[in-house]
Amino acid sequence: MPSYTIALNFEDGVTRIIDCRDDEKVLDAAYRHKINLPMDCSDGVCGTCKCRAEAGRYDLGDDFIDDALTADEAANGMVLTCQMVPSSDCVIAVPTTASACKTAQQRFEATVTRIAPHNDAAVVLDLAVAPDAIPPAFLPGQYVNIDVPGTSLTRSYSFSSEPGAQRISFLIKTIPGGAMSGWLADAQPGDSLSLTGPMGSFYLRDVTRPLLFLAGGTGLAPFLSMLEVLAQAGSTQQIRLVYGVTRDLDLVLVDALESYAARLANFSFATVVADAASSHPRKGWVTQHMPDDLNGAADVYLCGPPPMVDAVRRHFEDAGITPASFHYEKFTPNAPSMREVA
Rounded to the nearest integer, the mean pLDDT of the chain is 93
Q: Look at residue 229 in the predicted model and tell me its pLDDT.
A: 97
Q: What is the mean pLDDT of residues 191-208?
A: 92
Question: Residue 92 and residue 18: Cα distance in Å, rounded?
Answer: 11
Q: List domains and CATH numbers for the chain.
A: 3-101 (3.10.20.30), 107-199 (2.40.30.10), 211-341 (3.40.50.80)
pLDDT in tens, 266-280: 999 999 999 999 999
Q: Look at residue 201 in the predicted model and tell me its pLDDT.
A: 85
pLDDT in tens, 105-140: 889 999 999 999 999 999 999 999 988 888 888 999
Contact yes or no for 298/284 (Cβ under 8 A): no
Q: What is the mean pLDDT of residues 200-215?
A: 93
Q: What is the mean pLDDT of residues 83-104?
A: 95
Is the torsion defined by CA of 36, 37, 41, 43 positive or negative? Answer: negative
Beta bridge partners, 127, equal 112, 168
Q: Look at residue 334 in the predicted model and tell me its pLDDT.
A: 58
CB proximity list for 93: less than 8 A, separation 6 or greater: 9, 11, 51, 52, 54
CB proximity list for 133: less than 8 A, separation 6 or greater: 108, 109
Q: Is the pLDDT of residue 180 over 60?
A: yes
61, 73, 124, 183, 248 from 158: Cα distances, Å: 37, 33, 12, 18, 23
% pLDDT > 90, the chain: 83
Residue among 135, 48, 119 nearest 83 (CA): 48
Q: Determine if the peptide bond prior to 176 is cis (ω within 30°).
A: no
Q: Look at residue 200 in the predicted model and tell me its pLDDT.
A: 87
Confidence at 341, pLDDT banded by 50, 70, 90: low
Confidence at 342, pLDDT banded by 50, 70, 90: low
Q: Is the pLDDT of residue 336 over 60?
A: no
Q: What is the mean pLDDT of residues 148-159?
A: 96
Confidence at 298, pLDDT banded by 50, 70, 90: very high
Confidence at 296, pLDDT banded by 50, 70, 90: confident
Q: Look at residue 332 in the predicted model and tell me its pLDDT.
A: 72
Q: Is the pLDDT of residue 192 over 90?
A: yes
Q: Look at residue 340 in the predicted model and tell me its pLDDT.
A: 54
Question: Residue 11 and residue 99: Cα distance in Å, rounded?
Answer: 10
